């Protein structure tokens, strides 16, 4: 069974030869895995390690100012200032002042000059990436789309949270633009990639490490109907939706399912309400779980035995009824021992699938 078939059958809750294993990682971890495996090509690396990689298809934006990839400062696709910051062994991009932070009226949004143009993405190069992923029999995923998360970047976190209460008209107007632009981009994905795109990636980090970021009322007012429109559009084109929210997102899960998501990621089970047994009990028959293997302590700091136990626990809880794609809970971070990553992969590959309680 190929990786593409294994993922597809898992999503459809059909029998598979073994449990699939996906991986998310930082660029530093990718380099450490390449060195370990003696393989310079990323897709060859996944095949060599037996990873059922869901490959990101993300066309580069060509509409902004030409950027130097080595530059410390730049802007993202939405015109938000970014700065490379070194933290320990890793380099991250942090956001600067939101370009909409000083706006006061919805009409001012017309004056913003850096709204991205859906026609100015390099779809041709991305199509080659999708074609190559298919040559390796991997599934594909894209684009990266968000409502409130992008708004937070553009407006600033404090302003964005206050707007859910004090500035509904401005928030609606900005979210309408954010949605409209990305709906066009999603339509281009469907027309450009066709069957070479498998999954649509939607995200909004609506949970923190300890609680939810916004109220359920705000979510239902501003995000849920917009998310449903994207889910409906994706389903109309035969694509399943993978939705990402970090943190304590338990209270949102039934609303996400009602909006139409098919796959929930990353299952940060150390956060309140995200306990694996309870999630599977309450939602395991309605949504596929993706992620779960703890990457803040167990993967980077645990022993090989710790990683094996963590992976098995995810398999036996989140995967009890078969609706589970094991993966690191968000990106594996720089400095994570390679032997821990390999243990995670091999534990999944060697798992006795007959232990699962299939419906």
Q: How does pLDDT run across 272-290, given as a tens digit for each residue?
A: 999 999 999 999 999 999 9
Please give the average per-residue pLDDT across 84-106, as a whole number: 94
Q: Any idea of the CA torsion for 175, 176, 180, 186, to the nearest 10 degrees?
A: 40
How much is the pLDDT for 77?
A: 96
Write the secondary structure of the chain as one string of H (helix), E (strand) and C (coil): CCHHHHHHHHHCCCCCCCCCCCCCECHHHHHHHHHHHCCCCHHHHHHHHCCCCEEECCCCECCCCCCCCCCCEEECCCCCEEEEEEECCEEEEEECCCCCCCCCCHHHHHHCCCCCCHHHECHHHHHHHHHHHHHCCCEEEEEEEECHHHHHHHHCHHHHHHHHHHCHHHHHHHHHHHHHHHHHHHHHHHHHHHHHCCEEEEECCCECCCCECCCHHHHHHHHHHHHHHHHHHHHHCCCEEEEECCCCCHHHHHHHHHHCCCEEECCCCCCCCCCHHHHHHHHCCCCEEEEEECCCCHHHHCCHHHHHHHHHHHHHHCCCCCCEEEEECCCECCCCCHHHHHHHHHHHHCCCHHHCCCC
How much is the pLDDT for 332?
A: 98
Give all strands of the β-sheet with 263-265 in edge-to-edge order.
54-56, 139-146, 199-203, 240-244, 263-265, 288-293, 324-328
129-178 residue pLDDT tens: 999 999 999 999 999 999 999 999 999 999 999 999 999 999 999 999 99
CA-to-CA separations, 68 to 73, 74, 75, 322, in angstroms, rounded: 9, 8, 11, 45
Q: How many Cβ atoms from other residues are within 10 Å of residue 172's Cβ?
A: 14
Residues whose CB falls within 8 Å of the CB of residue 159, separated by 6 or more in sequence, listed in order: 98, 101
Q: With 80 as the cut, is the pLDDT of residue 184 above it?
A: yes
Quick one: what percent of the chain has pLDDT higher than 70? 97
Q: With 90 as the cut, is the pLDDT of residue 64 above it?
A: no
Q: At the top level of CATH, which class does the domain 3-64+100-355 belong to?
A: alpha beta
How much is the pLDDT for 359?
A: 46
Q: With 70 as the cut, is the pLDDT of residue 34 above it?
A: yes
Per domain, the residue ranges of the chain are 3-64+100-355
Q: With 50 as the cut, is the pLDDT of residue 336 above it?
A: yes
Q: With 70 as the cut, is the pLDDT of residue 219 above it?
A: yes
In angstroms, what is the C-alpha Rg of the chain?
20
How much is the pLDDT for 67?
A: 65
Please give the average per-residue pLDDT across 108-131, as a whole number: 97
The Cα 207–Cα 272 span in angstroms is: 10
């Amino acid at each position: 069974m190929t990786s593409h078939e294994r993922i597809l059958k898992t999503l459809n809750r059909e029998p598979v030869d073994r449990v699939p294993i996906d991986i998310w990682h930082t660029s530093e971890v990718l380099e450490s895995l390449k060195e370990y495996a003696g393989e310079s090509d990323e897709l060859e690396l996944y095949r060599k390690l037996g990873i059922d990689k869901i490959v990101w298809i993300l066309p580069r934006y060509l509409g902004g100012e030409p950027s130097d990839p080595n530059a410390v400062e730049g802007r993202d696709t939405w015109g938000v200032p970014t700065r490379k910051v070194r933290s320990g062994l890793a380099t991250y991009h942090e956001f600067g002042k939101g370009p909409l932070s000083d706006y006061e009226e919805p009409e001012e949004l017309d004056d913003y000059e850096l709204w991205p143009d859906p026609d100015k993405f390099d779809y041709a190069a991305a199509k080659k990436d999708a074609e190559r992923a298919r040559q390796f029999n991997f599934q594909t995923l894209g684009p990266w789309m968000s409502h409130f998360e992008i708004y937070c970047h553009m407006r600033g976190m404090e302003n964005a949270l206050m707007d859910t209460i004090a500035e509904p008209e401005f928030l609606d107007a900005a979210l309408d633009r954010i949605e409209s632009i990305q709906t066009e981009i999603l339509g281009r994905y469907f027309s450009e990639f066709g069957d070479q795109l498998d999954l649509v990636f939607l995200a909004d980090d609506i949970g923190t490490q300890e609680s939810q970021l916004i109220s359920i009322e705000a979510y239902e007012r501003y995000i849920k109907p917009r998310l449903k429109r994207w889910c409906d559009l994706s389903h109309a084109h035969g694509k399943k939706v993978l939705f990402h929210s970090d943190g304590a997102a338990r209270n949102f899960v039934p609303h996400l399912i009602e909006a139409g998501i098919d796959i929930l990621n990353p299952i940060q089970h150390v956060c309140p309400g995200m306990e694996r047994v309870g999630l599977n009990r309450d939602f395991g028959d309605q949504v596929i779980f993706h992620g779960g293997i703890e990457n803040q302590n167990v993967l980077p700091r645990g022993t090989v035995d710790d990683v094996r136990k963590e992976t098995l626990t995810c398999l036996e809880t989140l995967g009890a009824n078969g609706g589970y794609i094991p993966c690191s809970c968000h990106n594996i971070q720089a400095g994570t021992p390679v032997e821990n990553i390999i243990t995670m992969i091999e534990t999944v590959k060697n798992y006795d699938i007959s232990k699962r309680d299939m419906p």
